[in-house]
Amino acid sequence: MDGVIALYKERGMTSHECVSSLRKILHTKKVGHTGTLDPNVDGVLPICIGQATKISELMMQSGKVYQGEITLGMAYDTEDLDGTLIAQQPIESPLTSSQIDDVLAKLTGDIMQVPPMYSAVKVNGHKLYEYARKGLTIDRDPRPIHIDYFKQLKPATYDPEKQTQTIYFEVGCSKGTYVRTLAVDFGKLINVPSVMTNLTRIKSGGFDISQCVTLKEVQTAVDSDNLETIFRPLAEALASYPQYKLDESRWEIVSHGGFLDQSINPDHDPVVCLTYMGAVKALYKFDLELTKYRPYKMFIA
């Protein structure tokens, strides 16, 4: 049982709870996710099973795409609606669409982001949320992230009664990006309190939300002995890497963990995917000093 399940994580569940549920449904311990989603966020959570757990860290490196909402006029300590309201300011003159676009543009490209206090980032051996729950605020070093794009999905809406404005967005971002912090930073750029009020991850690990299945659908597939219908093979999960089909002699070398000469990939791509008889057997990484490809991730049962 080796492959990836593109799971749709429902709201109210932690990523760990999803992994725990799948271990019980699939009757295997070799299950791992590819990057957590907050309990109040739904969407794509690729889950690696069996030997595919060896590529979970690689899938984490992939970019993510989210759709959500930013509401201007209020702020929460958790940067989303799960926390405590800490600031309010009426929005008397709502931003125009072009003004919103200008602010979003300032939050694209290579930027530095300070991780939120309510996060699992560790400082001095403790997670930031552990400090936050004690009412402490710790100095955090900003970290580099990359925002591919940050755009409006539809016109913003204004609530004249609450005097708040809600912006509907889509963002493509690198690993390690806190989208709720982007929402807060949007407000800081225009000197108003802001909060992320809705978020769905629509793409992660090369899978989009249209490919996802629910935990209930996984259980149904197991009960009907139809698991292959929801399993994504290693080859699909690694499709972005250059592929090389091994012949008999090179398979013999790879099966014993040997090095391969650069002729398998004259372009010297950093990592190549090696297959034998239609099955993925290994990822090999190019070693600049040796000018050879060496084992990186092995999938030989």
User: In angstroms, rounded to a whole number, what is the distance separating the alpha carbons of residues 204 and 158?
Assistant: 31
Give the residue numbers annotated as catalytic, written as ranges.
38
User: In angstroms, rounded to a whole number, what is the distance separating the alpha carbons of residues 41 and 5?
Assistant: 18
The H-assigned helical ranges of the chain are 15-26, 56-60, 97-106, 128-132, 179-189, 215-223, 234-237, 248-255
Residue 280, beta-bridge partner list: 275
Q: Count the helix, strand and coil residues of the chain and give each as a percent rounded to the nearest 5.
A: 25, 40, 35
DSSP state of 53: G
User: In angstroms, rounded to a whole number, what is the distance separating the alpha carbons of residues 279 and 234?
Assistant: 8
Contact (Cβ atoms closer than 8 angstroms) between residue 72 and residue 31: no
CA distances from 287 to 57, 264, 291 (A): 20, 13, 5
Closest to 274 measured CA to CA, from 254, 258, 257: 254
CA distances from 99 to 37, 165, 281, 300 (A): 30, 13, 51, 55
Contact (Cβ atoms closer than 8 angstroms) between residue 194 and residue 75: yes
